[in-house]
Amino acid sequence: MKKRWLALCLATVMAASLTACGSSKTSTPDTTGAQTTAAGSETKAGDGTKAEEAPAGAVEQVVTIPMFSDPDTLDPGRSDDEQKNAIVLEIQETLIRLMDGKVTPGGAESWETSDDGLVWTFKLRDNQYSDGTAVTAQDYVNSIRRIFDPEVNCHNAGIFYCIKGGEDFNTGKGSKEDVAAKAVDDKTLEITLTEPLPYFLQLMTFANVTPVPESKTQGEKNSSYGATADELSSSGPFYASEWVRGSKIVLKKNPNYWDAANVKLETVNMVLAQDENTREQMFNQGQLDILRKVRSEYADTLKAKIDGGEVQLLEGPQPRYSYICFNNEDPNGIFTNEKIRMAFSIALDRESLVKNVMKKDQAAYGMIPYGLSIGEELFRDIYPEPMKDFLAQDPKALLEEGLKELGKEGEQITVTFLQKNSDNDTKVQAEYYQNQWQTKLGVIVKIDTASDNSSFNNQVSKGLYQVCQTGWGADYNDPMTFMQCYMTGDGNNPAFFSDAKYDELVEACKTESDMKVRGEKFAEAEKIITVEHCGLAPITFTYDKNVAKSSVKGFYINGAGGPAIELKSAYVE
Question: What pLDDT digit, counting tens, does each position of 342-357 carry?
Answer: 999 999 999 999 999 9
The pTM score is: 0.75
Work out the pLDDT band at 100, boundaries 50, 70, 90.
low
Of the chain, the end-to-end C-alpha distance in Å amounts to 45
**What separation in angstroms does the CA of 541 have from each of 313, 354, 361, 418, 452?**
19, 10, 6, 21, 24
CATH fold of 62-267+551-572 reads: D-Maltodextrin-Binding Protein; domain 2 (3.40.190)
- 3-state SS assignment for residue 315: strand
Please give the backbone phi and psi of residue 492, each rounded to the nearest 5 degrees, phi first: -105, 30
Q: What is the pLDDT, as a whole number, of residue 108? A: 97
Q: What is the pLDDT of residues 494-518, one digit of tens each?
A: 999 999 999 999 999 998 989 999 9
Q: What is the pLDDT, as a whole number, of residue 9? A: 29
Q: What is the pLDDT of residues 229-288, one digit of tens each?
A: 999 999 999 999 999 999 999 999 999 999 999 999 999 999 999 999 999 999 999 999
For the chain, how many residues are written? 573
The domains of the chain are located at 62-267+551-572, 317-544
Measure the CA angle with vertex 100, ends 96 and 104; round to 5°: 25
- The answer as to CATH 3.40.1280.10 being correct for domain 317-544 is no
Half-sphere exposure of 172 (CA within 13 A, CB side): 2
Asked if pLDDT for residue 13 goes beyond 90, the answer is no
Residue 374 has a CB neighbour count (10 Å cut-off) of 27
